[in-house]
Amino acid sequence: MANSVAAFTGSAVPKLIAPPAAALPGPGEVRCKTLMLGICGTDRDILESTSPVCPDDSEFLVLGHECLACVEEVGAEVTECEPGDLVVPAVRRPRQPENPNSGQIRRRVDMVPWGNYVERGIVAEHGFSLPVWIDRPEFLFPVSSEIKDVAVLAEPISVSEKAVREAEQIQNARLDDEWQRRAPRVLVTGLGPIAFAAAIVCRARDWPVTMYGRDDPDSFRAGLVTNFDCNYVHEGAYSWTLADVEQDGFDLVLECTGNDFVMMQAASTLASCGILVWEGSTRLPQPCQHNVAEIMRAGILRNHIYLGTVNNAPVDMGRALEHLVSLRPRYGSAIRQLVTRQVSVDESLWHYQSREPQGVKTVVIFD
């Protein structure tokens, strides 16, 4: 049965393959069954690059890193979970065996440099586009059954949660409790899954959010922005030139387009002590002319911070799952609307290469 999706070296086309035979879990291991899998820009980037980072012994990489799974069987020494539990797996893990010469002293695997980690479905380890797979309990996060329908979104939400939590921690370190006393004004650029994830984690904090996008104001995605009680500004109608940046600007910009032009313009809206977080990027950056000196000047005079973040810490995954529970009464239906398409594994191939015009998240359903 060919029901795994894999990327092969030298090809931009995803292929259906027969999954490797399911192993039995060892004493400290867990066997999980994939229920749902989100498709994301990273999957498309891996394919487009035609050079997936495959596991050492493999000529392909099984895709899939945004997963909701069910525990099927646990080894004799596992006490953390039991068959029937719903779980979301961590993407990044320390590379084994650890390189003894790496000089690595960081505790958090989301903070270590390239070469010291693997990412399931992305870097050197097969992902979760598999009917069943083996893992260790420390990489599995328990999911409450009330959010089973949307828990597959926890991973991308955790990535934005890290971005916002880090900005918050930096601000607490230099401005004490200013963001608790007066909610930061947030700008999110983009209307993709990470942008909506960014809006969700800010709305969970009750912060006012403006989302900037290219879609018409009467489009589905612009409507979704308002369903999250965010303000939508449309490319065609928005002027980046603010008369008074302190009064009309933003304290936190979450850049989710990966577009350097948008980023430069968004940077010009940062009020004093503002933070701009890079959450998106292009895989093959091209040289371009921008007035970087301008953002350097404003950055110094206004104490700005530019912050890049990737992946998540365990606390971020935990909080992402909590947000999905606590926001359910208010935004449950808006969150469900982020899943704009559900497909079978066979139908998913098109979605691994293309995006639907008003699509946010395509989810692959495993039976």
User: Which parts of this chain interact with ligand BGC (CB under 6 A)?
Assistant: 40, 42, 65, 91-92, 119, 122, 155-156, 159, 310-311
Smallest separation (angstroms) from ligand BGC to the CB of 160: 10
Smallest separation (angstroms) from ligand BGC to the CB of 297: 32
Smallest separation (angstroms) from ligand BGC to the CB of 42: 3
How far is residue 78's CA from residue 278's CA, in Å, rounded to a whole number? Answer: 38
Distance in angstroms between the alpha carbons of the first and the last residue of the chain: 13
How far is residue 123's CA from residue 45's CA, in Å, rounded to a whole number? Answer: 12
How far is residue 188's CA from residue 273's CA, in Å, rounded to a whole number? Answer: 17
SS3 content of the chain, % helix, strand, coil (to 5): 35, 25, 40
Smallest separation (angstroms) from ligand BGC to the CB of 116: 13
Sign of torsion, CA 166 169 174 177?
positive
The residue among 281 and 303 lying less far from ligand BGC, judged by its C-beta, is 281
The residue among 275 and 317 lying less far from ligand BGC, judged by its C-beta, is 317
The residue among 40 and 167 lying less far from ligand BGC, judged by its C-beta, is 40
The residue among 119 and 255 lying less far from ligand BGC, judged by its C-beta, is 119
The residue among 189 and 311 lying less far from ligand BGC, judged by its C-beta, is 311
31-61: burial string, b at 16+ Cβ within 10 Å, e else: bbbbbbbbbbbbbbebbeeeebbbeeebebb
Around Cβ 367, how many Cβ atoms within 10 Å?
7
Strand, coil or helix: 170: helix
Smallest separation (angstroms) from ligand BGC to the CB of 238: 28
The residue among 171 and 257 lying less far from ligand BGC, judged by its C-beta, is 257
Q: Report the interhelical angle of 328-337 vs 220-227 (nearest 10°).
A: 170
How far is residue 279's CA from residue 293's CA, in Å, rounded to a whole number? Answer: 22
Smallest separation (angstroms) from ligand BGC to the CB of 45: 8
